[in-house]
Amino acid sequence: MMGRTHAASGLAVAAFVATATNAPPLDALALFIGVPGFALLPDIDHPKSLAGRSLGGLSGIPGRLLRHRRETHSFFGVSVFTALTAVAVWAGDHWAALAWLWFIVAVASLSALRAFGLTTRRSVWLPVAALVGATYVAANASWTLPVAVATGMLIHIFGDVVTRGGCPLLWPFTSRRFQLNWFRTNSPVETLFLWAFVVISFIGIGSYAAVAYATLPGSHP
């Protein structure tokens, strides 16, 4: 599955989760921004992916150490990333915790910007805003963050399972790849899914905003 389809599927699910749980506005915003980015994170196992290229040489390191569509495309990998993030949120001000949180949030936000075509060579303010935002989120991380990491990564893996190639979901216990083989990456069927996710995202975010507005204190005279 292409990066933009992964990111759009993340946005669609985030919109649904925010509406279904009636998330407070700041949490909803974190989901809308975070989940599409974390839905690109598993491909950090490939140096040429959106995630692998997001922070230059730094984000390229995992791609040299890991095998593509193995560690980060398994339930074990998702658990490790989620647990590391949860421990980092708990550890708070420790430098290693802040470094981990900053790294994954920066990779996720920069990858999402690229996936949606929001970065050009001329406009640097969005990537700069993403890096400043990553610093803010790392310093003020809440429990929404590990939830967003797990949700985004699982959405990504599901996206790869439905395309040809599949994922070794139960690695390291078995390297058997699970695949549904619905369509090939970058095929017309994938484009259809992409547009479906975009439409669902618009409807989801719109209905979240409508519900949030209707329940605002003072909106019922």
Strand partners, 132: none
* Residue 27 or 71 with smaller CB distance to Zn ion: 71
Residue 190 binds Zn ion, judged by CB under 5 A: no
* Residue 37 or 42 with smaller CB distance to Zn ion: 42
Q: Considering just the CA atoms, what is the radius of gyration of the chain in Å? A: 17
CB of 46 to Zn ion, least distance (A): 8
CB of 153 to Zn ion, least distance (A): 10
* Residue 77 or 146 with smaller CB distance to Zn ion: 77
CB of 139 to Zn ion, least distance (A): 30
Query: If you ran DSSP here, which 8-state letter would residue 142 be given?
Result: -
Residue 43 binds Zn ion, judged by CB under 5 A: yes
Options 37-45, 143-151, 175-183, 186-194: segment touching Zn ion (CB under 5 A): 37-45
* Residue 82 or 144 with smaller CB distance to Zn ion: 82
Buried b (16+ CB within 10 A) or exposed e, 67-79: ebbbbbbbbbbbe
Task: For residues 51 and 104, give the distance between their C-alpha atoms in angstroms, rounded to a whole number.
Answer: 10
Helix residue ranges, H only, 40-94: 50-54, 57-65, 75-91
Task: For residues 28 and 24, give the distance between their C-alpha atoms in angstroms, rounded to a whole number.
Answer: 6
* Residue 80 or 210 with smaller CB distance to Zn ion: 80
Within 135-164, the residues that bind Zn ion by CB under 5 A are: 160
Size of the site for Zn ion (CB under 5 A): 3
- Strand (E) or helix (H) holding 133: helix 125-139
What residues line the site for Zn ion (CB under 5 A)? 42-43, 160
